[in-house]
Each structure stands twice: as C-alpha cells, then as structure tokens.
Chains A and B, each alone.
Chain A
Amino acid sequence: MITMYHYLFVGIILFLLGIVGSIISKNVIKVLICIEFMLTGININFITFATYCDGQNFDGYIFVLFYTGLGAVELGIALYIFYLMYQKKESDNIEKYCDL
C-alpha cells in the first residue's frame, strides 16, 4: 500500500539531491538545475499534503502552480545574470562568480 509517507520520502530525497548537487557542483548551470530539483521536492510535498490532508480546497495544488511560475521566472533571471557575467568572466566555474 502506498501511503502519504512514501510520497514525502520521495520529496525529501529529491530535496537532498538538490542540496548535495548544489553544494558539490562547480558549474553555475548545474547549480541552478539542482536548485530546481529542490523546488520540485517542495512541490511534491505540497501536492502530497493537499491530496491527503485537504479534501476540499486543494490549496497545495494552487501553491504548486504559483511555485512553478516563480521557478521559471527565477531560472530565467538567474540565467540572464549568468549570461551577462559569462561575457566578462568567460568561465562557468562558480568560484569565479564570488563578486556577485
């Protein structure tokens, strides 16, 4: 039987993968992708709680909708900043972006 805790476990694993990836990666784009993993893990938690604990309003579904939009906006802005910085630094190593 698949319970709520199984889905929460997937969410926390995805969140941990995002944390580990964003810590050990040296590439800016890879770090951004790992941050998206963390956001996706949070979204899984939202939908799980909305499904199992909120039987009428499903507020978690709406929050996930907003989070998805915000995540896309955040990624677009971050990649644009990366593009501007890359023209100066000519490297995607995150250690060279300390002046941000």
Chain B
Amino acid sequence: MSENPILFYTSFILIIFFGIMSIAEQRLIRVLLYAVGLFFAVSILFYLLGSEYNAIIQAAIYGLAVPIIIGISIMFTTGKKENAKESVIPTITWIFSGILLLGFIYVIMISFAILPDSLHIVEIPQRNSYDVLSAFAKGIFINYVWSFEIISLLLTVVIAGFTLFKKGRAD
C-alpha cells in the first residue's frame, strides 16, 4: 500500500468531476466517456489501497468491457436529447456539486489538521504483493470456492441465454 496524497487527491477530484459531469451531461456518449474516466480514477484508488489485482480488474471490466456493452446499447437508440422537463437538473446538479466541494475542502482540512495519536485507531498495514496474491488464491479456491463457481456458472448461463434468445428471435 502506498500513501501518496497527490495521487489520492487527484483521483478524488477526478471522481467528483467525472461523476458530476456524467450526471449533468445530456448526451449519452459523453455520459459514457465521463463514466469511463470515473472508473479509471477508482482503479487508481484501488491501487493506492494496495489491491493491484482489483485495480486491474476494475480497469479491464468497468473501464473497457462494460463501456463497450453500454456503447453498443447507445448505438441502438436514436440519440435524441432528453425531454424538456429536465430543465431543473442543472440547478440540482450545481447545488449537489457545491455540497461535494464543501465536503472536499473539509477532508483536506482534516488532512492538514494535527490529530492526536489516540485518534489513529488502526495501523497502516505493510505487505507485499505475494501476500495479496496468496490471499486471492486462498479466497477464490478454498474459502469461497462455491461462490466463485456459482458466479462462473451465472456468467455462463447469461452468455448461453443471450445466444439462445438471439437464435430464438432469429427463427
């Protein structure tokens, strides 16, 4: 685990920026691009927390695979903008972004504040990549092997189901 405040606050700002922009934006393809940026920023956070494998999985699945599925779905739509009833959205978004900005300033001020040692409840763990890999292997193949198998089966059923639906509709 690396404690890098610059990386942390950069990814924090990026998460807030991309999140607010993806809510405020009307065009779907831009919403998707902002969401991809947010998912990559979250993968930086995972890396900072010491979970490199989750960071890679987050970047690969949420940063690449899921946007492709959503992008294909957007291609099916006509690309019309949302209706005029949503003129209230920018106001709500700006109010919400102001609240988030205040929260961000609050977090930075806490970081710069001098905290007594008694408030540091947990020690920062130090470990190497081998421990994390070993924990992953133990978790997937020993402790939670049935959960792993069920999720693998679920993914297989979904893929097979899509194929069968497509074949059924084609017939």
Whether the Cβ atoms of B83 and A13 lie closer than 8 Å is no
Whether the Cβ atoms of A75 and B20 lie closer than 8 Å is no
| Bound CA–CA A65/B39 (angstroms) | 15
A contacts with B: majority SS? helix
State which of A1, A32, A61, A83 has its C-beta within 8 Å of the C-beta of B132: A61
B contacts with A: majority SS? helix
- The residue in chain A whose Cβ has the minimal distance to the Cβ of B22 is A33
Interface positions of A (Cβ within 8 A of B): 1-7, 9-10, 13-14, 17, 20-21, 24-27, 29-30, 32-34, 36-37, 40, 43-44, 47-48, 50-53, 55-59, 61-62, 64-66, 68-73, 75-77, 79-80, 82-83, 86, 90, 92-93
- The residue in chain B whose Cβ has the minimal distance to the Cβ of A30 is B31
Whether the Cβ atoms of B73 and A7 lie closer than 8 Å is no
- B54 on the interface (CB 8 Å rule)? yes
Whether the Cβ atoms of B8 and A29 lie closer than 8 Å is no
Whether the Cβ atoms of A7 and B49 lie closer than 8 Å is yes
Shortest Cβ distance from residue A84 to the other chain B in the assembled complex, whole angstroms = 9
